[in-house]
Amino acid sequence: MNSWPRLYAILDASLFPRVELMFDAAADLVAGGITLLQYRNKSGNATEMLEHARELKRRLGNSVKLVMNDRADLALAAGFNGVHVGQEDLSPESARKVIGGSLWLGVSTHNMEQLREADETSADYIAIGPVFPTSSKANPDPVVGLQGVRDARALTRKPLVAIGGINRVNCRSVIEAGADSVAVISDVMREPRKSAEDFLRILG
């Protein structure tokens, strides 16, 4: 990818009462211009996650880059483009051993100490957040605010993805604070195609 996408949509399986609705939402996001999509499933088992992931890959093909949340093994098995690990998942270097050199590795951080540490790893991008209050994550860390994004920007040259409570109203301020990209769950899920189009227009 030449430049890191401004909008990183996260497809959270828990938001869909039926899996077909999740696949529809994913297709709508891509129709709205999404080029980077993460599959996140905090309650599914490996079988279900792999099934969903393979189906996403089958339906969306190469029109979007796909990233698996938490599970390096499933990213590889599903033919995804990358994996995203948090502070309680495999360490970045262990995840890297699983996925090898060519898949992307993203790492979540929630404060400057974690960010500095992630910057020393082979991570391809670093996420910082929650920037604003969020209801999409259980037990979120304290919000870092726009100042947290500015501080993070000063500490890494890797692509910086801001996450948490980002919507169409505040996304511009997050990019202006130094993020390369905004990762969004709730504000791209209500009306996926339209919100993706809105975000991309606003982020220009």
Does residue 170 sit in helix, strand or coil?
A: coil
| Distance of closest approach, residue 69 Cβ to ligand TZP, in angstroms | 8
Contacts with ligand TZP in 136-175 (CB under 6 A)? 136-137, 140, 163-166
Concatenated DSSP letters for 6-73?
SEEEEEEGGG-SSHHHHHHHHHHHHHTT--EEEEE-SS--HHHHHHHHHHHHHHHTTSSEEEEES-HH
Retrieve residue 139's tokens: 């037990």
Q: How many CA atoms lie within 13 A of 126 on its CB side?
A: 27
d(CA 177, CA 165): 15
- Of these, 36, 40, 64, 70, which contacts Mg ion (CB under 5 A)? 70
Q: Indicate which of ligand TZP, Mg ion, none lies near residue 37 (CB less than 5 to 8 Å, by partner kind).
A: none
Least CB distance to ligand TZP at residue 67 (A): 12
Give CA–CA dist 165/39, Å, rounded: 18
Closest residue to Mg ion, Cβ-based?
Answer: 86
What is the total count of residues that contact ligand TZP (CB under 6 A)? 13
Least Å from the CB of residue 158 to Mg ion: 18
Residue 185 contact, options ligand TZP, Mg ion, none, Cβ 5-8 Å cut-off depending on partner type? ligand TZP
Query: Out of ligand TZP, Mg ion, none, which partner does residue 70 contact, by CB within 5 to 8 A per kind?
Result: Mg ion
Q: How far is the CB of 62 from ligand TZP (least distance, A)?
A: 25
Q: Which does 33 bind (CB under 5 to 8 A by kind): ligand TZP, Mg ion, none?
A: none
**Exposed, middle or buried: residue 46 (CB in 10 Å: 0-12, 13-18, 19+)?**
exposed
Active-site residue, 190 included:
no
> What distance lies between CA 85 and its chain's CA centroid?
10
108 is catalytic: yes
Beta bridge partner(s), residue 36 = 65
**Residue 187 sits in the site that holds Mg ion (CB under 5 A):** no
Whose Cβ is closer to ligand TZP: residue 30's or residue 107's?
Answer: 107
Q: Which of 71, 96, 108, 158 is catalytic?
A: 108
The pair of three-digit structure tokens given for residue 91, joined into one six-digit string: 């360490």
Interface contacts to ligand TZP, rule CB under 6 A: 129-130, 134, 136-137, 140, 163-166, 184-186
Catalytic annotation, residues: 40, 108, 137
